Amino acid sequence: MIAIPAIDLREGACVQLVGGSYEAERVRVNDPLDALKQWLALGFRTFHVVDLDAALGKGSNADVVARLVSHAPGLTFTVGGGVRDASRVEAVLAGGASSVVVGTRAIEDLAWLTEVAERFPGRVVVAADVKGREVVTRGWTAGSARDIRDVLSALEPLPLGGMLVTAVHKEGQLGGVDLPLMEEVARSSRHRLLASGGVTTLEDLRALAKLGAHGAVVGMALYTGRLDARAVAREFTE
């Protein structure tokens, strides 16, 4: 399993939010490239970039994403946030991302998801943001009234690059991961699991690795120093 630093973009900066709330911003790095360089220096090579403004319809950080993805050869980026049409999927991948993360429209429009997944097999990752057991959309602001198990079942036949499952109720709180949720996803789905939300300790990462996760997205614990980033990179990079 690999650990994947999160680079969440808001108003051109790299931020970390508690529980996804814009009112609860805890970390801000004014130049996201500084964050990328810091993680690179420690040995990380795979990164998860999210345009929070685009996800909430409050703007775009596309220029910042382009700077990050083009910074150095040989790096792996998953890029998401407000990707809701095929042209944006194509643009993200053409811009150098290894995979594109689609959330809201993927959950709400299976026909559209099927179309883009078949057009770009293995390069579309579906973000299933889970609060309790309900999958939520639109930057975590809207409920879908759909249980995670129902969503997994619907997505099972598609040629996806993976499932990014975020435990929203754990996000940014440094309280540990939702292991029962992640274990259920790993057991129920053939798709690669990228687990997110609440990773706080090396033991959290080891537990996710043991249940079969392909990767774990780590944010707050790295940015606040709660996790020893060098130790994480040593144990959980390719």
Q: How does pLDDT run across 4-53, given as a tens digit for each residue?
A: 999 999 999 999 887 666 677 788 999 999 999 999 999 999 999 999 99
pTM: 0.93
Q: Whose structure tokens read 């790096």?
A: 75
Between CA 211 and CA 209 the distance in angstroms is: 6
Q: Give the model's confidence band at 168: pLDDT under 50 very low, under 70 low, under 90 confident, else very high.
A: confident
Classified as helix, coil or strand, 179 is helix
> Active-site residue 150, yes or no?
no
Catalytic residue among 8, 51, 53, 178: 8
Flag whether pLDDT at 133 surpasses 80. no
- Which residues share a beta bridge with 194? 164, 215
Return mean pLDDT, the chain: 91
What three-state secondary structure class fits 146?
strand
Q: Where are the alpha helices (DSSP H) in 43-133?
A: 52-55, 62-69, 86-94, 104-108, 110-119
Catalytic entry in 51, 53, 129, 204: 129
Contact present, 211 and 186 (Cβ < 8 Å): yes
The DSSP call for residue 22 is: G
Residue 202 has pLDDT above 80, yes or no: yes
For 61-104, write each residue's pLDDT tens digit. 999 999 999 999 999 999 999 899 999 999 999 999 999 999 88
Which of 30-34, 76-80, 126-130, 160-164 shows the lowest per-residue confidence on average (mean pLDDT)?
A: 126-130
Contact (Cβ atoms closer than 8 angstroms) between residue 235 and residue 2: no
Tokens of 144: 């879908």
What is the pLDDT, as a whole number, of residue 77? Answer: 98
90: tokens are 């194509």
Q: Does position 196 have pLDDT exceeding 70, yes or no? A: yes
Question: What confidence score (pLDDT) does residue 186 get?
Answer: 96
Fill in the DSSP letter of residue 192: P
Contact criterion met (CB below 8 Å) for 125 and 99: yes
Query: Three-state DSSP class for 148?
Result: helix
Q: What is the pLDDT of residue 120?
A: 98
DSSP 46: E
Locate 127 and state its tokens. Answer: 């973000």
Among all chains, which residue has been given the structure tokens 């993360």?
A: 101
CA distances from 122 to 32, 91, 98 (A): 27, 16, 10
Q: In angstroms, how far apart are the furthest CA atoms of the chain?
A: 43
Q: What confidence category does residue 143 fall into, taking pLDDT thresholds of 50, 70 and 90? A: low
Residue among 47, 76, 55, 161 nearest 113 (CA) = 161
**Per-residue pLDDT at 94:** 96
pLDDT at residue 134, rounded to an integer: 80
More confident: 178 or 174: 178
Residue 129 annotated among the catalytic residues of the structure: yes
pLDDT number for residue 132: 79
